[in-house]
C-alpha cells in the first residue's frame, strides 16, 4: 500500500473539472482557505494533495456553486512566491444572494460593498475573504 505522501501524479484520483475557466488561487494557508470556503461558500473539497512538513499543500480542488476552484500554498523556494491578490474578483452568480451573503459574512468575510441593485439590473455586492481574495455575488432581481 502506498502512503498518501508518496503519491505520484499518475496515482492521484481523476476528479472531474467543472467549468470552462477555472480559477487557481495561491494563498497563505490553502488548507485553512479550503475550510473557510466550505463554511463561507458551501465548497466541497474533492481532492487535496498531502501537506508537507511546513503544513503547505501544492493543490486543493474544490467545487463551489457548480464550478471548480483550485488553490495551493505559495512555494517561494520553487519560484511560486505569495503575491497580494489584486486585479481580479471571484464572481459568484447565485439565485439567493441573501442566503449566500449571510453565510459568507457569518463565516468571517469582510463586506466591501453591500448588496444593491446595480445599473445592469441585478443585485450585486462584494466581500473580501481572510486570505485577501475579493469575492462578488450577483443575482437577478426578482420581480
- Could you tell me what percent of the chain has a pLDDT over 90? 80
Range of the domain at 37: 24-73+85-140
Residue-level pLDDT at 11: 62
Residue-level pLDDT at 1: 35
Give CA–CA dist 62/37, Å, rounded.
9
Please check whether residue 2 lies inside any domain of the structure: no
Residue-level pLDDT at 14: 84
Q: How many domains does the chain have?
A: 1
The domain that contains 127 carries what CATH number? 3.10.180.10
Please check whether residue 14 lies inside any domain of the structure: no
Each residue's pLDDT tens digit, 44-92: 999 999 999 999 999 999 999 999 999 999 999 999 889 988 899 999 9
Rounded to two decimals, what is the model's pTM?
0.87
**Which pLDDT band holds residue 36 (cuts at 50, 70, 90)?**
very high
**Cβ atoms < 10 Å from Cβ of 43:** 19
Please check whether residue 4 lies inside any domain of the structure: no
**Confidence check: pLDDT of 9 > 80:** no
Residue-level pLDDT at 12: 63
Amino acid at each position: 500500500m502506498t502512503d498518501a505522501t508518496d503519491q505520484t501524479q499518475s496515482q492521484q484520483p481523476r476528479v472531474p473539472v467543472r467549468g470552462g475557466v477555472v480559477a487557481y488561487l495561491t494563498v497563505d494557508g490553502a488548507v485553512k482557505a479550503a475550510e473557510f470556503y466550505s463554511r463561507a461558500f458551501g465548497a466541497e473539497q474533492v481532492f487535496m494533495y498531502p501537506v508537507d512538513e511546513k503544513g503547505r499543500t501544492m493543490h486543493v480542488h474544490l467545487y463551489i456553486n457548480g464550478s471548480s476552484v483550485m488553490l495551493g500554498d505559495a512555494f517561494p523556494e520553487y519560484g511560486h512566491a505569495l503575491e497580494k491578490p489584486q486585479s481580479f474578483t471571484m464572481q459568484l452568480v447565485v439565485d439567493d444572494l441573501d442566503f449566500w451573503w449571510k453565510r459568507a459574512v457569518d463565516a468571517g468575510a469582510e463586506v466591501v460593498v453591500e448588496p444593491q441593485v446595480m445599473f445592469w439590473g441585478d443585485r450585486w455586492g462584494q466581500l473580501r475573504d481572510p486570505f485577501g481574495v475579493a469575492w462578488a455575488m450577483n443575482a437577478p432581481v426578482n420581480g
